[in-house]
Amino acid sequence: MRICMYTETALPMIGGQEITVDALARQFLAAGHQTVVLAPNPRSAWRKAGWRKADNLLPYTVVRHPRFISTRRLIDPYAYFLKRLHRSHGFDILHCHSTYPTGYLGTRVARSLDVAVVIASQGGDVTPTNSKLSQERVLRSNVEALSAADALVAISDFTANGYRRLAPASRPAVQIPNGVDTIELSRAAMRPDDLDPDIQPGRYVLFIGRLSHRKGVDLLIEAFGKIPGEERPLLVIAGDGEERSALERRVAELGLTSAIRFAGMAEHGRKTFLLQNSLFSVAPSREWESFHLVVLESFAAGRPVITTRLPGFTSLVCHEETGWLVEPESPEALAAAVRAAVADAPLRERMGRQAREEAERFDWEIVARSYLDLFARLIAERQAARKPSAGRRNASSAAR
C-alpha cells in the first residue's frame, strides 16, 4: 500500500498527535508499505533547532508545506499541496489526523483523486468545548469531512460520540485506540545527568503533560498542600506550558517548594526514567480527555495511575486494579488517593503488574495492524466498485 499521513503537527513538536503519527509511520514502513507524512512547517522556534535536519533523520519521508495562515479560514488553497504530493507519491490511502483542517481538505481532494480517506481525530476538534465549532463555516466543514470520509477511526468512546454529535448521518466509527511502545518502556532507562538530585527512585509521584488549565496541575498542587508533611512524597511535574509561571507561584505561596520539583520537558529516555522510577503517575485533568497516552506509558513502565473520572480515563483505567479514579475538580479526592497509594506498597506493586499486562494490548504493532487491515479493506472495496463500470464499458463497446 501507499499511505499518506496528513497532520497539522508532527515531530519535532512533542505531543500525543506527533507521537501517534511517528509511531504509526514507523510501523507502516516496517510492514513494507510506502509511507509519507505531510505536515506544515514547524513554528519559528523549531526552525532554529534545525527541523529540516531532524526530518531527514526519520526513517519515513516527511513533506512540508507553509503553515496555515488560519485554521478558521483560508483553508481551501492548501488542497494544492495534497494534490502535488499525490502526483509525486501516488498514495492510495490518505490518513488524516484531524477532522478539520486535514480531514476537510482530504475529503475535498479525494473527489478528484482515486484515494480512500480515513479520519482519525485525537479528540480536540470534536469536543463540545472546541471554540472553533461556534463558527458556522468551520462547523459546516467538520460535518462535510465526517460525512464524506471513507472511514472514521475512533481512538475512544469520547471521540466516537464526538463524531455522532457533529454528523449523526456519518458512517459508524471503527474503534482503534492509540498505542504505546511496550519494549522501550520496559527496558531500564539510564538516569539523565542533569536530573535534580532530589528526584530519587521510588520516592516521588509523577505528572507528565502540558501545563495548561485543562490538565488540572493546579488541582494536584492544591492536593499536595492538603497532605501532612510526614506523609507527603515528592511531586515531580514534567512538562511545560502557559501556566508554568502561575503554578510555580502557587507552589511558593503554599510553602511547597521543598515538596515539588518542576522538571521541564520530558522526552524519550528522560520520560522513560521518570515513569519507571516513580511510585505512580497522576493525571488530574478537569475537562476532557480523548485518549491519554501518558496513562498507557505509565502502564507499560509498570506503574499504576491516579486519574479523574472522565471518559478518556475510564475506558483505560480499571479502578483499584490498574489505578485509581477520583472525581474531577477535587483536590481533596486527589489528596486522599495519593495518601492511600503511597501507604500501600504491595497494592502498588500488584497494580503495576496488572497495568503492564494491560499495556500489552496497546502495543503499536498491534494498533498499526488494525489500521492496515482497515486500509486494505477500503482499497479492496474501491477496486470492487470499479469493476462493474469497466464491465459495462466493455459490453457497450462490443455492442457497437
- Residues 26-59: tens digit of each pLDDT: 999 999 999 999 999 987 655 555 778 889 999 9
Extract the C-alpha cell encoding 310. Answer: 472522565
pLDDT over 70 at 388, yes or no: no
169-185 per-position pLDDT tens digit = 899 999 999 999 999 99
pLDDT of 400 strictly over 50: no
| Distance separating alpha carbons of residues 385 and 269, to the nearest angstrom | 48
The residues with which 59 forms a beta bridge, in sequence order, are: none
Q: Does residue 16 sit in helix, strand or coil?
A: helix
Phi then psi for residue 118, to 5 deg, are -115, 125
pLDDT at 158 over 60: yes
Answer for the pair 158, 123: CB distance below 8 angstroms, yes or no. Answer: yes
pLDDT at position 69 is 85
Q: Which of 8-17, 21-30, 149-158, 312-321 has the lowest mean pLDDT?
A: 8-17
Report the pLDDT value the prediction gives residue 43, as an integer from 0 to 100: 75
Question: What pLDDT is recorded for position 399?
Answer: 44
pLDDT digits (tens, 9 = 90+) for 186-228: 999 999 999 999 999 999 999 999 999 999 999 999 999 999 9
233: nearest Cα among 266, 206, 197, 193: 206
pLDDT in tens, 69-100: 877 778 999 999 999 999 999 999 999 999 99
Q: Work out the number of other CB atoms within 10 angstroms of the CB of residue 274.
A: 25
Beta bridge partners of residue 191, listed in sequence order: none
- Give the per-residue pLDDT at 186: 93
Statement: residue 391 has pLDDT above 60:
no
Q: How many CB atoms lie within 10 A of CB 77?
A: 11
pLDDT band at 398, cuts 50/70/90?
very low
Q: CB atoms < 10 A from the CB of 254, how many?
A: 15
Please give the full DSSP string across 160-189, using - where no structure is assigned: HHHHHHH-TTSPPPEE----B-HHHHHSPP
Computed over every residue of the chain, the mean pLDDT equals: 92
- The helix (H) or strand (E) run that includes residue 65 is strand 61-65
Mind spelling out the 3-state secondary structure of 245-275? HHHHHHHHHCCCCCCEEEEECCCHHHHHHHH
pLDDT at 390 over 70: no
pLDDT of residue 44: 63
What is the tens place of the pLDDT at every residue in 267-319?
889 999 999 999 999 999 998 888 889 999 999 999 999 999 998 899 899 99
Q: Cell 488553497 maps to which residue?
A: 77
CATH of region 182-360, choose from 2.40.70.10, 3.40.50.2000, 3.40.50.261, 3.30.1330.10: 3.40.50.2000
Quick one: pLDDT at residue 48?
52
In CATH terms, are 2-179+363-392 and 182-360 the same topology? yes
Q: Are 302 and 356 in contact (CB under 8 A)?
A: yes
pLDDT band at 263 (very low <50, low <70, confident <90, very high): very high
User: What cell numbers appear for 74 in the block?
Assistant: 483560508
Comparison of pLDDT for 266 and 90, the residue scoring more = 90
Instruction: Check pLDDT > 50 for residue 373.
Output: yes
Cis amide prior to 101 (ω within 30 degrees): yes
- Euclidean distance between CA atoms 21 and 17, whole angstroms: 6
User: What residue segments make up the domains of the chain, in order of their start?
Assistant: 2-179+363-392, 182-360
- Among 216, 346, 194, 179, which residue's Cα sits nearest to residue 274? 194
Q: Looking at domain 2-179+363-392, which of 3.40.50.300, 2.40.50.1070, 3.20.20.70, 3.40.50.2000 is its CATH number?
A: 3.40.50.2000
Which amino acid, one-letter code, is at 42? P
Q: What is the pTM of this model?
A: 0.89
| pLDDT of res. 73 | 77
Residue with cell 498514495: 91
| pLDDT surpassing 90 at residue 346 | yes
SS (HEC) of 231-242: HCCEEEEECCCC
